[in-house]
Amino acid sequence: LSTKGVNNSKRRLRNNLKALKMTSQERSMLRKSEFPDMARDALAIIENLIINRNKHDMAMDLIAEFVFRERRDEPARGGQFAKQSAQPRLSPIEEFQLVLVLCDFFSRPGPDATRNAVFLSLFGGSNTRTSVLNKLISTAVSGSIAPLLCAAGTWMQQLGCTSPASLELAQCIVRDFVIFSKNSSEQLKSLPLVAPRFAANLMTAVTDLYLNGTAKSQLIPPPDLLLDVITDWVSENPSLCLASQQQLALPSGAIAMPVITPLAGLIRWCVLSLLVTNRQELYSKLHLAVLQSLLEATPPITTPPTLQPINAQHLLLIVNTIQVEMETLTQQGMSLEEENLQNCLERFAQAVQVGLTSRCIFGNITQLMFRLEALPGKNKLLQIVINANKT
């Protein structure tokens, strides 16, 4: 090693020893505190470790011990939800106290990147923390706590909006604000104004929960109240579906995960709903809003294909379900001219054509056209779309 290299190594060693000494002192101080004060004090130290000292492993140890009070012999680390992780030691009352502490912490002014880094460190590595997470975000929706919801939106995007953790959070929001409510709350209605990225990513997760399956028996429509809220969101703000494409505020060196917009899921709702329900007033309104979103989503010609809002592979999943329904009708000796099926094909054709015209669909479009052309039976509008886009 050169003299410069040796000096750098010594400097790093001194800094590490200094950080270890400080963390040891801070740990000793925190152990003398009562909960939830220990969690409140720990969060400030954790933030400093993550951002200023770049000591992420130390921060994760403090999170496990002083924020979630997990057993230290089973640390919860890593970027994904682990199958085996630390056992929670928080009582229901302590969970409630921690939610209040976290609401206060994330409501403070400060850089978004810092807030997001701490949130991802808190909730990116253990499936035992979902109870606190779900209560926290439900409280944030009720209180319209924008900074916290923005951090949650980033968390969903980094883990994946259709990851088990994101889907569980979406189910919690639906349960608290839709299923257990006769009327949609004003807080839920105004969510796109408070935290547009979170609202967009919540839509992506929610669309994965309903009208998602190959067989007709698997197509469970969303609750009417949820459909009403999402239809209003998209109708009043067509660009909301693209909110997840805004640049993420991440700490230096972090890599933004690929974006999935809610558009493919919303198209699936509008199209497949015709196979399971005749109550189409809201779905028709949502369909028009989605088409408007696609028209407004036209990216610049220089935009890389993977940054376009819809993956053709996701549209192929809709084709699979339509094909199964057509084959079922044929086996039952029924006509493929059945009105709801034809309306389903027309609605899909409209969405595909507008999406292609607006350059919103990327991926294997040739395969999509091939699969559409291979469907049994014919639909005039769909055939026009296929002929116009075959290569």
pLDDT-based confidence at residue 81 (cuts at 50, 70, 90): very low
Mean pLDDT of the chain: 87
* Three-state secondary structure readout of the chain: CCHHHHHHHHHHHHHHHHHHHHHHHHHHHHHCCCCCHHHHHHHHHHHHHHHCCCCHHHHHHHHHHHHCCCCCCCCCCCCCCCCCCCCCCCCHHHHHHHHHHHHHHHHCCCCHHHHHHHHHHHHCCCHHHHHHHHHHHHHHHHHCCHHHHHHHHHHHHHHCCCCHHHHHHHHHHHHHHHHCCCCCCHHHHCHHHHCHHHHHHHHHHHHHHCCCCCCHHHCCCCCHHHHHHHHHHHHHCHHHHHHHHCCCCCCCCCCCCCCCCCHHHHHHHHHHHHHCCCCCHHHHHHHHHHHHHHHHCCCCCCCCHHHCCEEHHHHHHHHHHHHHHHHHHHHCCCCCCCHHHHHHHHHHHHHHHHHHHCCCEECCHHHHHHHHHCCCCCCHHHHHHHHHHCC
Q: pTM for the full model?
A: 0.88
What pLDDT digit, counting tens, does each position of 257-316 carry? 888 999 999 999 999 999 999 889 999 999 999 999 999 988 877 777 767 899 999 999
What pLDDT digit, counting tens, does each position of 108-121 carry? 999 999 999 999 99
Highest mean pLDDT range out of 126-130, 268-272, 321-325? Answer: 268-272
What pLDDT digit, counting tens, does each position of 9-39 carry? 555 545 554 555 556 777 778 888 888 999 9
What is the structure's pLDDT at 79? 47
Q: pLDDT: is 26 or 231 the higher one?
A: 231
What ranges do the domains of the chain cover? 20-72+90-108
How far apart (Å, rounded) are the C-alpha atoms in residues 195 and 115? 14
Q: pLDDT: is 334 or 151 the higher one?
A: 151
Per-residue pLDDT, averaged over 88-92, amounts to: 80
Do 198 and 152 touch, CB atoms closer than 8 A? yes
- How much of the chain exceeds pLDDT 90, in percent? 61
